[in-house]
Amino acid sequence: MRTVQSATRGQVRMGIWEIVASGGNPMVTMFSSQLFEDPRALDYVAEVYGVLDRVSGYLEGQEPLRYIGVVFDPETHDKAYYNKPEFYIGEVEGFAMSFFIKNIPWDIVSSQDLSEEWVREYKVLIAPDMRVVGDKEEQALRGYVEDGGVLVATHEFGVMRPDYTYRHSLALQDLLGVGYEGLLWFGYSYLDLVDEIWSGLPRSIILGDHSTAFVRERAEPRLGEVVRARPRSGRVLAWSRLGRSAYGYEYTLGRSTPAPDSRLGIAGIIENRVGEGASLYYSMRIGMHVTRIGHPDYIELITRPILRLAGDPPVVVDGPETLQVEAYRWGDGVNIHIVNHTYNQRILSAPTGPSKQAVPAFDPTYRVHPVRIVTPLGPFRLRIKGWGMEGYKVYNPVDDVEYKYRVEDGYIVVDIPRINEYMLVSVQPRR
């Protein structure tokens, strides 16, 4: 908490609910100056801690309901991206954001744990631009796919080994179904979508963006570059196509996108079935596009083929993307934490970067406003997969409410009339 001035009630409460839903143990720290000058925040903390004391029995012993694991690799962060770590972090964040927005269960998995048996429980493992791959990780991921898992890799997956040597190919190229022929360093490129899975999306989608630093390049370095990935097996879902020029001419100083040029025979997105398992490879930093631009087309490029390969998620929330959904195994059933991130005002505006172009003096460059009011949502529907019999209790211990449910196609279906800030829905067999 910041010095002297207390955070708003909404900021404190929602911050703690988010920690609890994400599996954390919330601990609040406070500067002594705030404690003496404006201790209101302690009252807000006490409100939430009182609820947690009442429902703590439901929080103990939870285990993630494993469906998608997003792999974070410290070796890639420290060795391959030592000078530009934001491009690696952005690639990882983009996948996490996509699943968060789509209410799809996901976890972060350390690359150091890939050999652990519990990792095999994930239907999907995603290695976003994991450029450093050693023999141990390669062996673990090969075994994972051969056992029926789905591996998703992007960009220069495994081009570097932990000892700083290069393999001059992607890791597990035979599983990915492509051949590596280096990088195309270009500010912009396009994806030509050629599979029926992309129904409703445009025929071509631009990759890349204008530079915010705007010192040497008009386009953001690295964002639009693609791997020369020649298809060898599998099913091409999208082909890569370069832009006709380094930048477009429809906006000041070349900050617009160029027209598409000819197709290059490079797989932009390719799906490859391998025995009981499968792989999905993106030749670009698709996650970084979600992080930086956030356009829903990029989110669809990520989620549609993954869901087709992995099957339906174990928990489905038919509600708005402002709901944070976290699912856990608990006892013989499941706990589903839902946080409502629908606010009347939450301004997050900060400088775009070290731009050499002057910013208008009348426009404040930094505005960050806290959560003040949470807007209630509802009704929405909760579906839990893998249940085919009657005799369960669907209970919300936060509000002391038991919900009626029905069973449809192997799902327990619960209609939730309303959510304010946070709710915990526990589904357990009746004793």
Confidence at residue 215, expressed as pLDDT on a 0 to 100 scale: 76
Structure tokens at 9: 């009630």
pTM above 0.85, yes or no: yes
Q: Please provide residue 271's backbone torsions phi and psi, each rounded to the nearest 5 degrees.
A: -110, 135
Confidence at residue 1, expressed as pLDDT on a 0 to 100 scale: 75
Confidence at residue 366, expressed as pLDDT on a 0 to 100 scale: 75
Pairwise CA distance, residues 309 & 307, whole Å: 5
> Cα dist. 83→86, 159, 187, 384, 395 in Å?
9, 17, 19, 44, 50
The one-letter code for the residue type at 258 is P
Confidence at residue 271, expressed as pLDDT on a 0 to 100 scale: 98
Q: Are 296 and 328 in contact (CB under 8 A)?
A: no
Block means of pLDDT (10 residues each) for the chain, 431 residues, are: 86 96 91 91 96 94 95 95 91 96 94 96 97 96 96 97 93 96 90 96 94 81 91 96 87 84 91 95 97 96 97 92 94 94 80 62 73 94 78 94 91 95 94 71
Name all domains of the chain by residue range, CATH numbers in brackets: 9-63+316-429 (no CATH), 67-313 (3.40.50.880)
Give 370's strand partners. none
pLDDT tens column, 352-375: 666 666 555 666 677 788 889 999
Residue in this structure with the two tokens 């890349």, named with its chain if needed: 208
